[in-house]
């Protein structure tokens, strides 16, 4: 089943560890600012440079991820001092959302983190879940100030501030739902219906609107920076909230099949896809993953080098799950160093040059294995 599809059944505790949250109640956190007014949501800063810690450059054959236990009580994990080489590698300020964890001793709340100039991660805000009817995963807005999720009783899309409070509810129809996706900090896209026959809908976080964008879609939508995309075997359908879509044919090798869309550039000119060479039975654990930056206007594709040279073989490692584009032409990618069939991901944040070379990588904050680069 597609990772973006949520069946209308209660999620077992093991699944909740991988993806869950609903009404989020405030929990004291260092660095947690007071919520902004309802219609004024300042984004997390995105211009302050941050240097890479000495251990962040990944050696061949190594991986990296947050641990499976909550951060220390101080809520401010530390890193070694940057080396002379790392200091020369400038990173923009990053934001990371770690999902809540259930079904294990102690559990862990949902958290939003922000990188610091000296290469550490500081806790911005955190919250605990109080909804027993969670389905699927929490999805934080790009600025980390709101959360959206699917709820079973009643069947609905629920939206609130990350720390909790009043909830906007949008009724759901059909037997399956695609996980919600944020178009921007106030607008979401979701899909309802059944496998291979989705109705795609746009709604606002501040009111229960319902704007149908497309019907009878074969795959779940991926959204971001005001664009919406649908993945097909060799092409993508890309459009916006108006419902106007066009086909984009990435110029990638003929033996590849597209399986993922990691995100769009802020200017709407580029996106990043993941593709693989099909195999018998389509076992994802033995895919050779290849990630590409694609120009929407022409389909021109630049391959992103694998973080580990060993991944040039069919190992199933290295899917790009989320990306952000930088004004200087570089690209930040959330790379899963585990395989799609592993019990948990193992993420690294990777900085790519415009020509697809790996410049450096960073670990994600310690905490639950599941999370997402924001922005």
145-197, pLDDT tens digit by residue?
A: 999 988 887 888 889 999 888 888 888 887 777 889 999 999 999 999 888 89
Residue 354 is classified by DSSP as: T
The total number of structural domains in the chain stands at 2
Assess whether pLDDT exceeds 80 at residue 356: yes
Neighbours of 67 (CB within 10 A): 12
User: In this structure, are residues 251 and 300 in contact, taking their beta carbons and an 8 Å threshold?
Assistant: yes
Among residues 231, 230, 240, 249, the alpha carbon closest in space to that of 298 is found at: 249
Residue 76 lies in a domain: no
Residues 94, 159, single domain; the answer is yes
Main-chain dihedrals φ then ψ at residue 311, nearest 5 degrees: -75, 0
How many whole angstroms separate alpha carbon 337 and alpha carbon 138?
Answer: 22
pLDDT digits over 92-134, tens only?
899 999 988 766 665 788 899 999 988 899 999 988 766 667 6
> Which residue range forms the structural domain that includes residue 156?
90-224
Residue 369 is classified by DSSP as: S
Assess whether pLDDT exceeds 90 at residue 48: no
pLDDT digits over 29-38, tens only?
433 333 333 3
Residue 64 lies in a domain: no
Across the range 200-228, mean pLDDT stands at 92
Residues 137, 193, single domain; the answer is yes
The backbone region for 222, taken as left when phi is positive above 0, alpha when psi lies in -120 to 50, beta otherwise, is: beta
Q: Which three-class secondary structure state does DSSP give residue 332?
A: strand
Neighbours of 165 (CB within 10 A): 13
Residues 309, 365, single domain; the answer is yes
Residue 81 lies in a domain: no
Assess whether pLDDT exceeds 60 at residue 327: yes
Residue 129 lies in a domain: yes
Residue 247 lies in a domain: no
Residues 219, 101, single domain; the answer is yes
Residues 103, 219, single domain; the answer is yes
CATH classification at residue 348? 2.40.128
Percent of the chain with pLDDT over 90: 49
pTM: 0.78
Main-chain dihedrals φ then ψ at residue 126, nearest 5 degrees: -150, 160
Percent of the chain with pLDDT over 70: 73
Model pLDDT, residue 4? 55
């Amino acid at each position: 089943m597609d990772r973006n599809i949520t069946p209308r059944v209660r999620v077992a505790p093991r699944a909740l560890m991988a993806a869950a949250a609903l009404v989020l109640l405030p929990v004291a956190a260092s660095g947690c600012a007071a919520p902004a007014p309802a219609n004024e949501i300042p984004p997390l800063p995105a211009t302050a440079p941050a240097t890479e810690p000495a251990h962040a450059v990944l050696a061949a054959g190594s991986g990296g991820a947050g641990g499976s236990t909550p951060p220390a009580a101080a809520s401010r994990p530390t890193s070694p001092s940057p080396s002379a080489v790392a200091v020369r590698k400038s990173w923009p300020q990053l934001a990371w959302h770690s999902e809540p964890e259930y079904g294990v001793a102690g559990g862990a709340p949902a958290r939003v983190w922000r990188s610091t100039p000296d290469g550490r991660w500081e806790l911005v805000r955190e919250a605990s879940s109080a909804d027993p009817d969670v389905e699927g995963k929490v999805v934080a807005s790009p600025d980390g100030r709101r959360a959206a999720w699917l709820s079973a009783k009643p069947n609905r899309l629920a939206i609130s501030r990350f720390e909790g409070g009043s909830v906007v509810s949008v009724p759901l129809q059909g037997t399956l739902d695609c996980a919600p996706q944020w178009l921007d900090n106030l607008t979401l896209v979701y899909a309802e219906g059944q496998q291979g026959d989705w109705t795609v809908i746009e709604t606002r976080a501040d009111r229960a609107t319902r704007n149908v964008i497309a019907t009878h879609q074969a795959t779940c939508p991926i959204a971001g920076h005001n664009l919406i995309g649908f993945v097909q075997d060799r092409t993508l359908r890309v459009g916006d909230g108006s419902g106007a879509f066009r086909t984009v044919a990435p110029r990638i090798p003929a033996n590849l099949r597209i399986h993922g869309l990691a995100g769009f550039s802020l200017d709407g000119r580029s996106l990043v896809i993941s593709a693989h060479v099909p195999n018998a039975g389509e076992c994802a654990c033995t895919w050779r993953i290849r990630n590409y930056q694609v120009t929407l206007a022409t389909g021109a594709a630049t391959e992103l080098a694998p973080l580990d040279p060993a991944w040039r073989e069919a190992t199933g490692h290295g899917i790009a799950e989320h990306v952000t584009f930088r004004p200087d032409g570089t690209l930040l990618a959330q790379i899963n160093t585990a395989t799609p069939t592993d019990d948990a991901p193992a993420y690294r944040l990777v900085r790519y040059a415009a020509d697809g070379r790996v410049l450096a990588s960073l670990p994600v904050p310690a905490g639950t294995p599941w999370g997402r680069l924001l922005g």
